[in-house]
Amino acid sequence: MAETTLDLAGVAKPEAYAELARQVDVVLEGIDDEIAAMATISSAVHTAMQHLWTGFYRVVVPGKLLRVGPYQGTVGCLEIEFGRGVCGTAAATGKTVIADDVTAFPGHITCDPRSRSEIVVPVFDANRVLLGVFDIDSDQPGAFDTQDRDGLESIVAWFARPRAAA
């Protein structure tokens, strides 16, 4: 399989995310499986961006509970309630949350004490139903900005793509 790893160190964020979105589309062509997509996106983004933790929390009880899905990094906490911490806030509001300093974020859940900043992007299907959130943690403070938000939102737009009727 082509397109296995991308080295995006030193590449400007908008170009890096565009390249990642292209890689994800190529690798997942013909695949209609959300878990396979979550695993592929986690691996692609983690390998290219080299942050601490990259992965998904899935909605298992709508409006109430997230459970960990495919990820890369140290062991993540298993369940997060809607409204709790950065992931729970993104799930509850349906909006991307950027925490420049996780220690200042109310209710932040510490999975890896090295984490300093975080971005969490909600993941919707084609009907705007919330499937989960995509979470990236960095060991650097203030690692994420609106370019990361735009780039990551365009990558998880894979889950909202129109699908051929079965």
Question: Footprint of ligand SME on this chain (CB under 6 A)?
Answer: 53, 76-77, 80, 85-87, 108-109, 111, 115, 118, 135, 137
Q: Could you tell me the smallest distance in angstroms from the CB atom of residue 161 to ligand SME?
A: 26
Q: Which residue is nearest to ligand SME (CB)?
A: 85
Q: Are 108 and 84 in contact (CB under 8 A)?
A: no
CA 52 to chain centre: 12
In the complex, the smallest distance separating the C-beta of residue 110 from ligand SME, rounded to whole angstroms, is: 6
Q: What are phi and psi of 124, to 5 degrees?
A: -115, 155
**Closest distance between ligand SME and the C-beta of residue 2, in Å?**
30
State in angstroms the smallest separation of the CB of 79 from ligand SME.
Answer: 10
Q: How many residues does the chain have?
A: 166
Nearer to ligand SME by Cβ, of 27 and 130: the residue is: 130
- We find the least distance from the C-beta atom of residue 102 to ligand SME, in angstroms, to be 6
Which residue, 118 or 148, is less far from ligand SME as judged by CB?
118
**Closer Cβ to ligand SME, 27 or 97, answer by number:** 97
For ligand SME, the closer of residues 85 and 151 by Cβ is 85
Between residues 65 and 109, which has the closer beta carbon with respect to ligand SME?
109
Measured CA to CA, the distance from residue 36 to residue 123 in angstroms comes to 15
Nearest to 78 by CA among 70, 67, 86, 89: 67
**Distance (Å, rounded) from C-alpha 166 to C-alpha 164?**
6
Residue 99 β-bridge partners: 118
Residues in Cβ contact with 157 at an 8 Å cutoff, skipping those fewer than 6 apart: none
